[in-house]
Every structure is written in structure tokens, then in C-alpha cells.
Amino acid sequence: MTSTRPRNADAQRKAELARIHAQQHQLGMDDEAYRAMLERITGERSAATLGIAGRQAVIAELLRLGASRKRADTQSSQRKKPRALERSAYLRKINALLTDTDKPWEYAHAIAKRMFGVDRIDFVSAANLRKIVAALAIDARRQSAKHSEA
């Protein structure tokens, strides 16, 4: 069964419906308030039955009510800290672990080379820095266990 609607119109419809629902959630509207607003603006109780003009009117009303124009970047909104701060926190932790175990930075560089094949810890990603922190923490526990036995 073929559709008479052009493919880009379907994509636009889906994008507008997604925007409407995202703005609804952004404003914290419950389903009843959302459907009442739809009925007040367009006479319909479902956004799926709206045409282009109806969807545009609903988007305009949601913007008027305070919804954001910009789409939320889900990946960056989920990230708690900027990457530079995240890296610096891991590097501080690595420094603390090296200091506690009386090991030089060359030890951390050697771990980076062995685990990830890079010459220096400076070239390791934040996710891999986390793994180096874990390796150093395990090493510190082993050392403290050896010292407590002796």
C-alpha cells in the first residue's frame, strides 16, 4: 500500500508531533490539561488528527505558555559536568592515588600504555581515565593489604 503523502511531509508531521509532545512534557502538562488546550485551540482532542495549520497553532500556543523553542540536547543535558572538568577530576584522583602509594607519574603513563596503547596519560579519554583510576585504586588496596599483613 503506497501513501499519497510525500515522504518529507510525513517526516515534518512526525517532527512537529514530537515537538508538541516534548513541549507538553517540558511545561509539565498532564494529559487532561493538554487535551483541553488542544480542544480550545483546534477543536480536536488529539494532535495526531491535526493538519499542518493545527499543529503550528498548537506549537505557537505551547511557546506562548513558556515552552522552549530549542530542542533539548539529550546527551549534553544528561552529562553532569563538561568533559574538561570531568578529565581534571580524574587526573586529580590519579594524582592522589599516585601520591598515596608513593609512585611517580611514569607509573600512570605505563598503565595508560599497557591498557590503551597510548604513550602518555594526556591522550587517554575521560572514560578510560576512569578505568585507570580503578586500576590504581585496586593497586592501592593490594599495597595496603600487604602492609597490614607485615
132 inside domain: yes
pLDDT tens, residue order, the chain (150 aa): 555 555 688 889 999 999 999 998 888 888 898 999 999 999 999 999 999 999 999 999 999 988 887 655 555 455 555 667 788 899 999 999 999 999 999 999 999 999 999 999 989 998 899 999 999 999 999 988 887 776
Q: What pLDDT does residue 138 have?
A: 94
SS (H, E, C) the chain: CCCCCCHHHHHHHHHHHHHHHHHHHHHCCCHHHHHHHHHHHHCCCCHHHCCHHHHHHHHHHHHHCCCCCCCCCHHHHHCCCCHHHHHHHHHHHHHHHHHHCCCCHHHHHHHHHHHHCCCCHHHCCHHHHHHHHHHHHHHHHHHHHHHHHC
Q: What pLDDT does residue 6 have?
A: 54
Q: What pLDDT does residue 4 have?
A: 54
Which of 64, 95, 112 is the endpoint of a domain?
64
Q: Number of structural domains, the chain?
A: 2
Same-domain status, 52 and 101 = no
Same-domain status, 89 and 139 = yes
127: domain range? Answer: 83-149
36 inside domain: yes
73 inside domain: no
- Which pTM does this prediction carry? 0.45
Q: What pLDDT does residue 148 have?
A: 79
Same-domain status, 96 and 145 = yes
